Amino acid sequence: MASKLFLPFSCIFFLASFVLPVLSHLHYPHLQPHGLLVNSTNPSPFGFLKAMKGCRKGEKLSGIRDLKLYLARFGYLNYQKTTNGQDLDEDHFDEELEAALKSYQVYYHLNATGTLDEPTVSKMVIPRCGFPDKETHHHTNNNSLHTVSHYRFFPGRPKWPRGKRHLTYGFGSRFPTRFMPPIARAFRKWDTASRYFTFSRARSYRSADLKISFARGSHGDGNPFDGPGGVLAHAFAPSDGRLHYDADDRWSVGAVRNAYDVETLALHEIGHLLGLDHSQFQNAIMWPTFRSGVTKGLNSDDIRGLRALYGI
């Protein structure tokens, strides 16, 4: 008969009171193979909208100020004092907020009810690019919005100089090496599609035309990230060249559940770097929102937009 091993009570107490708590605080990054994951239990920064579903003009409700901030952040609301002196900081659903909400609903092909209804909330909580959909101080005109296509340009149509057709890119320090190939693929896809730009990796990050890095929270460009599940990435119009991923979101190579494809976001943000604003065509890579576990490629709307901007 095999002998049994009995641990004294003092040993069991030691294991329970010391070893197990230590183990519970250990981290195993190798068990998270699909991307960067930090503070994954934090609620989405857009989650507050769910508690406000159904609110409408005339109501005063805690959280309406945050709704105004959301719409101001993405270009639908001028954040300033109203003519009657009422401060938009107040939790009051006024006419300006109703108009801004209708503008958002029109942009995303929703019924323009002016009410924070279920379809609108469902759209607003989806993670997205941090670049505004609209410029609140610029009205759309024939130079920036096309009636046949859905692509848009930035106000003033900034673009790279005519003689600057080859652009170099570089990665910031500590950029995960396994995310570099999918970003290089994204550049090759824009190269092939545009028949205008070519790209290559620079010898150093500092010398690159386009600088790509991961960042977290406030990171020095005036556009702080907001943690998991909100703004995923952002880039700047020509010829700034900066592209930032939010390190607090979970990233993957390819379609992985509960993670965002690095290449898909690169295709979108490279479009900004080259001069494209957000498109109102949902199949375009320049559509503003993204879902986890999904990959997406360039669309004819994206390609027509770039060629129209550069007169190709």
- Closest listed residue to residue 147, CA positions, set 283, 295, 38, 280: 280
DSSP code of 284? S
Structure tokens at 201: 């990796």
Calculate the CA dihedral of residues 12, 18, 24, 29 and round it to 10 degrees: -120
Of the CA atoms within 13 Å of residue 272, those in its CB half-sphere come to 25
By C-alpha distance, which of 279, 277, 276, 252 is closest to 263? Answer: 252
Q: Which residue has the tokens 């159904």?
A: 54
How much is the CA Rg of the chain, to the nearest whole Å? 23
Active-site position among 59, 118, 135, 269: 269
CA 163, 134, 54 angle in degrees (round to 5)? 155
Q: Are 245 and 262 in contact (CB under 8 A)?
A: yes
**Residue 263 known to be catalytic:** no
Which positions ≥6 away from 45 have C-beta within 8 Å? 226, 227, 229, 230, 231
DSSP string, 2-15: PPP----HHHHHHI
Judged by DSSP in three states, 149 sits in: coil
Beta pairing class for 242-246 and 231-235: antiparallel
Cβ neighbours of 75 (radius 10 Å): 21
Catalytic residues: 269
